[in-house]
Amino acid sequence: MQVFKVQGMTCGHCVRAITQAVQARDPAAEVQVDLEAAEVRVSSRLPSEELLEAIFDEGYAVSLA
């Protein structure tokens, strides 16, 4: 499980956008978004760099937690 700090998430649309962005690169990925904590947890075989890029490409400031 990889944990990322993501700034700018505010609603269900953000959750869907991030989930879809990650699963577009790894359809088997499990994505858990915690809006209050500004965290995204991802269980995936992809390297963290690729997951960071997927979230960043959706327009969010993201870093490893």
Residue 43 pLDDT: 98
Residue with tokens 């995204």: 40
| CATH assignment of 2-64, among 3.30.365.10, 3.90.1310.10, 1.10.10.60, 3.30.70.100 | 3.30.70.100
- Report, as an integer, the average pLDDT of 55-63: 97
DSSP-derived secondary structure for 2-56: EEEEEES--SHHHHHHHHHHHHHH-TT-EEEEETTTTEEEEE-SS-HHHHHHHHH
| Per-residue pLDDT reduced to its tens digit, 3-53 | 999 999 999 999 999 999 999 999 999 999 999 999 999 999 999 999 999
Contact present, 58 and 18 (Cβ < 8 Å): yes
What are the sequence ranges of the domains in the chain? 2-64
Whole-model pTM: value is: 0.93
Residue 59 pLDDT: 96
